[in-house]
Every structure is written in C-alpha cells, then in structure tokens.
Amino acid sequence: MVQESMLQQLLGRVRYWAFLATKLGLAFLGSGAMLGFINMFWLPVTPWFHLNRTQFCYDLGYSTLVMGWFLFSYGLFYLAVWDQKFRCRTCLRRLVMPVETGSWSRMLQLGRPKVEYICKYGHGRLNLEELQFPGKVQPEWTQQGDIWAELYAIHDADRDSERRR
C-alpha cells in the first residue's frame, strides 16, 4: 500500500473542509440574494441580508414569503452538509456504488447492517450504520491507498521479472 505523507494528508483535510466552507458560503450568498429579491417589492428599502422589520409580522404576503425563504435557506444549508458526508475525503468526488452489508438475523457472522460506499478511484470507503441506535452514529471512513498505483506497481514488477528471464 502506498503511504501518503503527513503533508499530503493535512492538505487533503484542509481541502475537504474548505470545500464545505465554500458550499456554506455559496448557500449564504444565495439565501441573502433571495431575501434581497423579496425585499425589492416592499418599502422601505432594506439593506442586503436584513429583514424588512416594518413589514415582517404586519404584512401577510411578506411574512409568508419570508417563511418560504427561511425554509429554502435551511434546505440549502442542509444540502451542503448532507452532500459533504458522501464525498471522498481525498479527491472530493461523490461516493458511489452503495452496497448493503451485514444482517440482523446473522449479526454474529456478518455484523450489523450497514451501507458501504466507495470512491471510484479507490481512495477509501464509507460505512453508514443502517439503524442509529445510540443517538447519531458518525459514518466510518476507511482510507485506502491508491489502488491504481498498486496495480501499476504489480504490473511493473511483472514486466521487470519477464525482462530478467
């Protein structure tokens, strides 16, 4: 297995969290722009990222729109965090190929039911518990080496041994 250096691991982690911060920032800007758009139709003129306090709770149309805006913004932030959970910790691509493992009836042999996702470039796999018994169980990420590098190493070693013959 090819070991990553400490610096590469640190950079990978920084990139992973910077990606989440970028998504949250975009969600913040998107929801702020949407509130600004709603505010354009009511007086007095309200600065960006502010509620129109003279209309909110006094005008039914404005209050209803702001309620819808709040739910939409909440959904945007939720999507940003939810999407991050299913991203590869190394290359930030979406994890694919969910496979159910384990069984309740054969728990001692196969373990508890989980759903396993993998990175299609082989950087690692994510195990999600099917049932969250003790509150919220954090998904378990297992880092793997670069499978393509391993395969190429095997291929090169085979080629070298053929040359020697």
Applying CB under 5 A, the residues found at the interface with Zn ion are 88, 90-91, 119, 121, 123
Q: Tell me how far, at minimum, the Cβ of 61 lies from Zn ion, in Å.
A: 47
3-state secondary structure of 127: strand
**CB of 76 or CB of 91, closer to Zn ion:** 91
Q: Tell me how far, at minimum, the Cβ of 93 lies from Zn ion, in Å.
A: 5
Terminal-residue alpha carbon distance, the chain: 27
Cα 76 from Cα 88, distance rounded (Å): 21
**CB of 67 or CB of 151, closer to Zn ion:** 151
Cα 6 from Cα 140, distance rounded (Å): 21
**CB of 23 or CB of 87, closer to Zn ion:** 87
Amino acid letter, 50: H
**CB of 114 or CB of 123, closer to Zn ion:** 123
Q: Tell me how far, at minimum, the Cβ of 140 lies from Zn ion, in Å.
A: 16
Q: Tell me how far, at minimum, the Cβ of 72 lies from Zn ion, in Å.
A: 31
Sign of CA dihedral 109, 112, 113, 119: negative
